[in-house]
Structure 1
């Protein structure tokens, strides 16, 4: 038999009901939710949010790395690889000469032997292809970073591209000339190697011009107070 309300009151006292907590008002729940969520600061100025593609610091770093790689390839090719071939053959490698004739190529082929000639041809089809491509790619980026006008920029780009093309063509012409030194390929190979040296000198002069132009632009920007960090 269940107890009546009066009996429960006499038996348990006044606290006969377990009061559930009152529901939080909507305003209190909103404050609790706001405190639990992370705050996102969005008070950036328009200048901070705007893209700034003209700074170009990263592009100069990239060009510097590419130039270093190209310089190392050139040093390896002209100071290590070709002198090694010259030592094995007993005569100077044609790429290190301004011109050569059929007699010189016959002496080179005799000194290298069949195995050495194959290795020499592999050089033309490996390093002899990679080096001019890297060279042209580096010069292309240096000219682009200099921001010439359209026509002048294209003229500046023509020089390293011509050097790369002549470089690769000279290697293949040398392969044919060594296989048959008395053929017309010998004269063509000698012409291409001479042209390669001439274009290389012009590329070095172009590099000097780009360096002077860059330094002059930085000096002018410094005098106008436009360099980063200048107030």
Structure 2
């Protein structure tokens, strides 16, 4: 006798509940650009603060420890063996250690922040291609030369004074200042160009009544 087969009831599983999409959480190009702009503004403020702290405050205060002699970092046109020798005689071990500490703190952070912020500004406001890479070269070179210069200057206060070491440090200081001016020109040039472009776009939209 054949067994009767019971038909199995088919149950439709309820669809998994999906959370409603919140449009405000979606990442749009406008939001991404806005976030990058906020980071850029904050970084620019920090960079300006570090420049003022390092060059206008700390290095000027170091002159109190060197009988009024200017720190090598501040001498755009470079310096001579005689100047470094006078610094070595005026600054004791504690003063030289203080200069080394400054180089490891503000002297380290300032070039890194300036290079990164400049490269970010270029990245946001220029199209991909050779122009972007060309504009990235000065800030990257500035950071490398600045950090190299810090080490070269610190080495001048250790051991016997080597004229070749003074010449190298002096060349690095002059090169650093040239790259600093170039980097600052790129940074503010890109920001001003972006501001003018945005202003023109909004002006055209307002003339058409779209704003």
Report the TM-score, using the length of structure 2 for normalisation: 0.80
Change over 3 Å in CA distance of 1:42–1:82 after alignment to 2: closer
| Equivalent in the alignment of 1:153 | 132
1:218 aligns with 2:198: yes
1:107 aligns with 2:86: yes
Structure 1 counterpart of 2:95, from 110, 116, 122: 116
CA distance in structure 1 between the partners assigned to 2:202 and 2:151 by the alignment: 49
| Equivalent in the alignment of 1:67 | 44
Change over 3 Å in CA distance of 1:127–1:230 after alignment to 2: same
- Encode CA deviations 1:55-103: one digit per residue, 9 max, x unaligned: 4122111100000001000000011110011121011111111211111
Task: Answer 1 or 2: higher relative contact order, Cα 8 Å, separation at least 6.
Answer: 2
| Equivalent in the alignment of 1:22 | none
The question of whether the paired residues in 1 share the 8 Å contact of 2:118 and 2:186 is answered with no
What pairs with 1:1-231 in structure 2 (closer than 5 Å)? 51-55=27-31, 56-90=33-67, 91-98=69-76, 99-179=78-158, 180-225=160-205, 230-231=210-211
Q: Give structure 2 stretches of 5+ with no counterpart.
A: 1-17
CA distance in structure 1 between the partners assigned to 2:19 and 2:153 by the alignment: 67
The question of whether the paired residues in 1 share the 8 Å contact of 2:53 and 2:106 is answered with no
CA distance in structure 2 between the partners assigned to 1:189 and 1:48 by the alignment: 54
| CA RMSD after TM alignment | 2.6
Q: Give structure 1 stretches of 5+ with no counterpart.
A: 1-39
Once the 2 structures are TM-superposed, how far is the Cα of residue 157 of structure 1 from its aligned partner? 1.0
How many residue pairs match? The answer is 188
Rg larger for: 1
Moved more, 204-213 or 188-197: 204-213
Moved more, 82-91 or 209-218: 209-218
CA distance in structure 1 between the partners assigned to 2:53 and 2:59 by the alignment: 9
CA distance in structure 1 between the partners assigned to 2:204 and 2:173 by the alignment: 47
